[in-house]
Amino acid sequence: MLVVQKYGGTSVETTEKILKIAEKIAQDYDRGDKIVVVVSAMGKTTNYLINLLDQVNPNANSREYDMIASTGEQISIALMASALSRYGKKSVSLTGFQAGIDTDSTYSRAALKRVYRGKLMSLIDDGIIPVVAGFQGISPSGDITTLGRGGSDTTAVAVAYGIGADLCEIYTDVDGVYAADPRYVDKPKKIDKISYDEMIEMAAHGAKVLHLRSVELARRYHVKLVVKHAHMKSEGTIIEEVGRLEEPLVRSLTVDEGIVKIVIEDVPDIPGIAAKTFKQLSDRHVSLDMIVQSMHRDGKNDIAFTVSKEEFKDALEAVNHVKEEIKAGNIHSDDTMAKISIVGVNIIGSSEIVYNMFDAIASIGVNIDMISTSNSRISCVIKREKLREVAKVVSKRFGLEE
């Protein structure tokens, strides 16, 4: 089998852990697998690097952000390749550029353009295990780019697609995908198999176990994905095309603490206002989540939307840029909110599920600030301080615990 194995930050946080993983990779190789390894930065290295930059200049430009943030992975690849050679395997470390990973020039959240097959395949054909730096690529102007926090998963899937691998294994610090984030719910059920669509909804709404774009890529290019524990034997969770059920079903719960709400007050209720506003956001490549326009009096509305914390600065700049033109009133933001979502099949088609979501939240006296839905999800924005309590009551209501 031709396999891409990706190891996340906590799995390679010490040199002991790197050696253990190298030993396991060497055994897989001896069993006959052809392997490309993708690694993240060790432990919390990326946070440390970004913090250094912040100390020097909180408004440093994003090219420099990528330049420093990408270095964590460069440490890991050299260590992993060296650990592999200690176990008698030929191995070569490669930066994103050296591996042939091309992106656009959107620093800090670059989009992948292509992964060249040639370099990696010729190494594999020579019996060498390539160890590729996750999270980074190279822009058309030859600058280092990064793919957004958690982006090593996306590197792994892109490499798997690029070389036509049979499987992309994501090794992490949990033994698969659970029905709820184990940090918020005591004993969530483990999921053995899940569809790309459901996993996309989960990743898009807070389940950081997989980077959203990695699952989107895997679905588009039919890359088979497995999430497994890096240091314990387990079957893990398979993410693949699963025949759609008709029966409404709540399979999982996700939470997202990384959101900020932006409210534009008193915008004129005339055609073109939303388009002008969101054009500015689009020009800055800001990803949006919930958008709510409230009915108002006197021909004016409020428009509220949420963005991720990382994109807040760009979003606020976009809104301030267009404020005069659209004759808006005040603009304010709120970073005390969080989002809780349930994900499954045909959710919005079942008013019983919708009722139970709202009733569970109401049963502990928590107010819902914003709601958004899709066919397979309901999300509610609530006060962040209530998130744990709400996660517990919602997971109980839908039987998501053991």
Site residues (vs ligand ADP, CB under 6 A): 8-11, 40, 150, 172-174, 177-178, 180-183, 207-209, 252
Give me the least distance between CB of 140 and Mg ion, in Å please: 27
Q: Give which of ligand ADP, Mg ion, ligand ASP, none residue 311 binds (C-beta under 5 to 8 Å, depending on kind).
A: none
In sequence order, the 6+-apart residues with CB closer than 8 A to the CB of 278 are 288
Residue with the CB atom nearest ligand ASP in the bound state:
152
| Residue 119 CB coordination number (10 Å) | 17
Q: What is the DSSP string of 310-365?
A: GGHHHHHHHHHHHHTTTT---EEEE-SEEEEEEEEES-TT-HHHHHHHHHHHHTTT
Examine residue 150 and tell whether it contacts Mg ion (CB under 5 A). Answer: yes
Largest CA distance in the chain: 76
Using the rule CB under 6 A, which residue among 96, 134, 162, 176 binds ligand ASP? 134
Q: Give which of Mg ion, ligand ADP, ligand ASP, none residue 72 binds (C-beta under 5 to 8 Å, depending on kind).
A: ligand ASP
Task: Look at the alpha carbons of 326, 330, 333, 337 in this order and tell me if their dihedral is positive or negative.
Answer: negative
Examine residue 230 and tell whether it contacts ligand ASP (CB under 6 A). Answer: no
| Residue 224 CB coordination number (10 Å) | 15
In sequence order, the 6+-apart residues with CB closer than 8 A to the CB of 163 are 2, 4, 36, 115, 117, 120, 121, 124
In sequence order, the 6+-apart residues with CB closer than 8 A to the CB of 1 are 32, 33, 34, 166, 167
Q: Give which of ligand ADP, Mg ion, ligand ASP, none residue 174 binds (C-beta under 5 to 8 Å, depending on kind).
A: ligand ADP
Give me the least distance between CB of 206 and ligand ADP, in Å please: 7
Q: In one letter, which amino acid is 121?
A: M
Helical H runs in 70-174?
Answer: 71-86, 96-99, 118-125, 152-163
Examine residue 150 and tell whether it contacts ligand ASP (CB under 6 A). Answer: yes
Cβ closest to ligand ADP, residue 187 vs residue 276? 187
Cβ closest to Mg ion, residue 8 vs residue 344? 8
Q: Give which of ligand ADP, ligand ASP, Mg ion, none residue 248 binds (C-beta under 5 to 8 Å, depending on kind).
A: none
Q: Give which of ligand ASP, ligand ADP, Mg ion, none residue 41 binds (C-beta under 5 to 8 Å, depending on kind).
A: ligand ASP
Cβ closest to ligand ADP, residue 104 vs residue 240? 240
| Residue 333 CB coordination number (10 Å) | 15
Question: Are 160 and 167 spatial neighbours (Cβ–Cβ below 8 Å)?
Answer: yes
- What is the rounded distance in angstroms from the CA atom of residue 218 to the CA atom of residue 167? 10
Examine residue 107 and tell whether it contacts ligand ASP (CB under 6 A). Answer: no
- What is the rounded distance in angstroms from the CA atom of residue 189 to the CA atom of residue 177? 9
Residue with the CB atom nearest Mg ion in the bound state:
150
Per DSSP, 180 falls in state: B
- What is the rounded distance in angstroms from the CA atom of residue 311 to the CA atom of residue 150? 15
**Contact track, ligand ASP, 50-89, x by CB under 6 A:** ----------------------x-----------------
Examine residue 96 and tell whether it contacts ligand ASP (CB under 6 A). Answer: no
Cβ closest to ligand ADP, residue 211 vs residue 219? 211
Give me the least distance between CB of 10 and ligand ADP, in Å please: 5
| Residue 242 CB coordination number (10 Å) | 15
Give me the least distance between CB of 108 and ligand ASP, in Å please: 11
Q: Give which of Mg ion, ligand ASP, ligand ADP, none residue 379 binds (C-beta under 5 to 8 Å, depending on kind).
A: none
Sites of contact with ligand ASP (CB under 6 A): 8-9, 40-41, 46, 72, 134-135, 149-152
Which residues form the interface with Mg ion (CB under 5 A)? 8, 150
